[in-house]
Chains A and B, each alone.
Chain A
Amino acid sequence: MRSYRIPAIPSSEITPEETYVNRRQFIRAAAAMGIGMAANHALPSVVRAQDRWPQGKKGPYDTDEKVSTLQEITTYNNFYEFGTDKADPAKNSGAFKPKPWTVRVEGEVKKPASYALEDLLKGQTIEDRIYRFRCVEGWSMVIPWRGFQLSTLIKRLEPTSKAKYVAFETIMRPAEMIGQRRPYLTWPYVEGLRMDEAMHPLTLMVTGLYGKELPNQNGAPLRLISPWKYGFKGIKSIVKIRFVEKEPPTTWNIAAPDEYGFYSNVNPDVDHPRWSQKSERRIGEFLKRKTLPFNGYADQVAHLYSGMDLKRNY
């Protein structure tokens, strides 16, 4: 009779600790998301659970509202250079090359030059800011941007006293941006801010989100964010910054001047001619929320517009 031998387990069969811990997290997350979510074919619910930005107000400019998921922020975009459907930018921006990148600085400025992006970023304090984001179409998100204050860059570039506005321009690359092959907007996309808006501490030059590099569909590698304005003011994939004396042209204003003004501050009292701006749907919610003046940043920015008729300067 043969004696029983304990089978030897080859070391390759032993599950390393981090793997089984991950597996447990996976199952726990899947269970937490419920059966309905587990049936999701597009993206496993676990991915969503992991891609939650740690909640909580850290800086003076952060909102403590519930942060949108990475999936929400990166699959639902208006970036007409990649197509007009919300899913198009994520679908069509894969071939876009945000590196290397050069930004041309020109106009009323003491140091006009072409800067490699790395040089532009040198010495800038990169920080995370959780901002509300309100699209002119009536939906909103809460986004943890990563970037630096535009004001610090402007100070370094030393605009002259003639510089009253800052104009921005998106890259023109129809080979990689299929939307630019069709003229539904005038290309390249241009935007602008008044100097005091550009210098406001809330205004960011964004280089990332969710603690990562900026995805192509969100405007890699460099975009603008002024959270009290409608989303389209946040020009993406910037290659030119020009300091000018007069109010610069802006793309959506060229397309429909009665619908999109230069300022485009979020304002529940001024309707878009075709729809109400009184309320908004926060992505992921069923009921709509009331839209706040200046997107909830009135305390910080309303003074910039004191004395101005906001119904005329929409």
Chain B
Amino acid sequence: MTQTQWISRVFKPVVFFLCFLPLGLLVRNFLNETLSVNPLDDITDETGTWTLRFLMITLAITPLRKMTGWNFLTRFRRMTGLFAFLHGSLHFFTYLYFDKFFEWGEIAADIEKRRFILVGFTALSLMVPLTLTSWDRMIRWMGGKRWRMLHRLVYVSAICGVIHYLWLVKADTSRPLTYGAILLFLLGFRLWDAFKPKPATKKPLSTETARPA
């Protein structure tokens, strides 16, 4: 098998299965009643946490690729990104249903009044255009450059997600700050990478710009 075949036939299904594990465990624990006595809150917490985790994993792919030279990692980026959106959507759904029972007036007031809801809602909303343009034909249709520009929104989404977490905890900020530190590193790496002094030797054409991501 070629590397491409290995990736699409073996690694992708394996990674896909792994990405479904947290959700599978959550459903199993819910059915087995091994969550806390307030399982609806647990589901909200878990789906929210995994949204952040999948965002961090997605944002870690480019730095990891640049540090290791493992270019194949990019081929998993769409999958982990879509899993972030899936968990974010479920998280929002639990809020709409378990917390607000689809009382739209209340929900609108909540989003307007409470900054942690607003910033969380923003984080999820920003993921919608990214999800809609996640398929290959869209990249071709939009052009690689514009597509990449649009998908930089994921940085804003992740920042909003971390702020959402930070603003909702009661006293112990250690966990949201941990996510903040990871995000700072991942975004900082990109900044450093963009502005680092270029090697003096003249390259014929940067591989980076020659190929669409």
Contacts and interface: CB of A to CB of B under 8 A. Distances in A.
Contacts of A75: 36-37
Given A184-B171, A184-B173, A276-B106, A76 B101 contact: no
A76 B36 contact: yes
A185 B116 contact: no
Contact of A274 (B37, B38, B167): B167
A275 B114 contact: yes
A121 interface: no
A interface secondary structure, majority? loop
Given A184-B171, A255-B171, A274-B167, A71 B33 contact: no
B157 to A, nearest CB: 21
A276 B119 CA distance: 17
A95 interface: no
A232 to B, nearest CB: 10
A87 interface: yes
B172 interface: yes
Interface string A265-287: 00000000111100001011011
A39 B34 CA distance: 10
B40 A288 contact: no
A72 B114 contact: no
A87 B36 CA distance: 7
B34 A42 contact: yes
Interface string A178-222: 000010110000000000000000000000000000000000000
A283 B34 contact: no
Interface in A61-92: 69, 71-72, 75-76, 80, 84, 86-87
B98 to A, nearest CB: 8
A156 interface: no
A76 B33 contact: no
A87 B106 CA distance: 30
Interface in B136-191: 167-168, 170-174
B101 A40 contact: no
B187 to A, nearest CB: 26
Interface in A204-256: 255-256
B201 interface: no
Interface residues of B, number: 22
B171 A42 contact: no
B41 A40 contact: no
Interface string A51-65: 000000000000000
Contacts of B37: 69, 71-72, 75-76, 283-284
A139 interface: yes
B171 A40 contact: no
A286 B171 contact: no
B36 A286 contact: no
A42 B33 contact: yes
Interface string A135-158: 001010000000000000000000
Nearest to A80: B171
A286 B114 CA distance: 24
Contacts of A283: 37-38
A172 to B, nearest CB: 17
B112 interface: no
B142 to A, nearest CB: 38
A303 interface: no
B110 interface: yes
A293 B106 CA distance: 20
A41 interface: yes
B101 A287 contact: yes
Contacts of A275: 114
A184 B174 contact: yes
A84 B168 CA distance: 14
B198 to A, nearest CB: 45
A184 B32 contact: no
A86 B36 CA distance: 8
A274 B173 contact: no
A36 B39 CA distance: 15
A139 B41 contact: yes
A87 B32 CA distance: 17
Interface of B: 31-34, 36-38, 40-41, 98, 101, 106, 110, 114, 116, 167-168, 170-174
Interface of A: 36-37, 39-42, 69, 71-72, 75-76, 80, 84, 86-87, 137, 139, 182, 184-185, 255-256, 273-276, 281, 283-284, 286-288
The 9 closest A-B pairs by CB, nearest first: A84-B172, A184-B172, A72-B37, A184-B171, A40-B33, A76-B37, A42-B34, A283-B37, A255-B171
24 contacts: A36-B31, A39-B32, A40-B33, A40-B34, A41-B34, A42-B32, A42-B34, A71-B37, A72-B37, A76-B37, A76-B38, A80-B172, A84-B171, A86-B36, A139-B41, A182-B172, A182-B174, A184-B171, A184-B174, A256-B171, A274-B114, A281-B40, A283-B38, A288-B101
